[in-house]
């Protein structure tokens, strides 16, 4: 499945040093593309919107994703990251945050692709416990997927189209899309 437009083109995804770990590099690029697609569904005037007083505003989620991604890669995975004060764009706009997401992801892809098996399996501090770097990486992907889903719900609540990320949506489909919505489809 291809979802256009891609924020990170397939040609920009580096080859992993360990072929068995290519899926991790590919998945990270794919998740960045999905996040960018959801973010692009908003307008700058939406950044302060939230569905409930206890919910996070859209702009706060964008900033959190940029900052927490930096923390995961710098503190827990010991990757080369910019200083925390240099992560957020000067002006918080949808376009600027989307660009920054990709700018931060591209060197991370190269970093991840260059790691060997021992690095991925190494155990390092993670908040108040120790975890393998592979576990920390997948936790990062799941964390971002959580916020992507949160913002997908926000799009729906705002009456905006929800982009396809894992398959067709009520707003986006294509010939050959085959969502599993019936017992018959699940039996294939």
Structural domain count, the chain: 1
CATH of the domain at 150: 1.20.120.450
> Residue 20 contacts by C-beta under 8 Å, 6 or more apart in sequence?
117
Residue at 5 is within a domain: no
2 pLDDT band, cuts 50/70/90, is low
pLDDT tens digits, 44-81: 999 999 999 999 999 999 999 999 999 999 999 999 99
pLDDT tens digits, 121-145: 999 999 999 999 999 999 999 999 9
Lowest mean pLDDT among 49-58, 144-153, 166-175, 178-187: 166-175
* Alpha-carbon span 155 to 43, nearest angstrom: 10
Residue at 175 is within a domain: yes
Computed over every residue of the chain, the mean pLDDT equals 94
State which residues form the domain around 54.
18-186
Residue at 164 is within a domain: yes
Residue at 9 is within a domain: no
Residue at 133 is within a domain: yes
Are 141 and 31 within 8 A, CB to CB?
A: yes
Q: What does the H/E/C string look like for the chain?
A: CCCCCCCCCHHHCCCCCCHHHHHHHHHHHHHHHHHHHHHCCCCHHHCCCCCCCCCCCHHHHHHHHHHHHHHHHHHHCCCCCCCHHHCCCCCCCHHHHHHHHHHHHHHHHHHHHCCCHHHHHCEEEECCEEEEHHHHHHHHHHHHHHHHHHHHHHHHHCCCCCCCCCCCCCCCCCCCCCCCCCHHHHCC
Residue at 12 is within a domain: no
Question: At residue 171, what are phi and psi to the nearest 5 degrees?
Answer: -105, -25
Beta bridge partners of 130: 125
Say how far residue 182 (Cα) sits from the centre of its chain: 29
Does the model's pTM come out above 0.75? yes
Residue at 6 is within a domain: no
Residue at 162 is within a domain: yes
């Amino acid at each position: 499945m291809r979802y256009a437009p891609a924020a990170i083109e397939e040609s920009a995804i580096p080859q992993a040093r360990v072929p068995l770990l290519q899926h991790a590099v590919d998945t990270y690029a794919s998740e960045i593309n999905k996040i960018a697609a959801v973010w692009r569904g908003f307008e700058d005037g939406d950044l302060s919107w939230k569905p409930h007083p206890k919910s996070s505003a859209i702009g706060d989620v964008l900033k959190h994703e940029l900052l927490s991604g930096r923390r995961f890669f710098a503190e827990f995975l010991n990757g080369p990251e910019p200083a925390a004060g240099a992560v957020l764009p000067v002006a918080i706009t949808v376009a600027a945050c989307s660009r920054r997401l990709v700018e931060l992801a591209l060197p991370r892809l190269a970093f991840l692709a260059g790691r060997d098996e021992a690095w991925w399996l190494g155990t390092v501090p993670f908040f108040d416990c120790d975890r393998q770097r592979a576990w920390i990486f997948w936790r990062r992907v799941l964390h971002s997927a959580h916020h992507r889903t949160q913002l997908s719900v926000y799009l729906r609540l705002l009456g905006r189209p929800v982009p396809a990320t894992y398959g067709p949506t009520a707003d986006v489909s294509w010939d050959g899309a085959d969502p599993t919505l019936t017992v018959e489809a699940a039996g294939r």
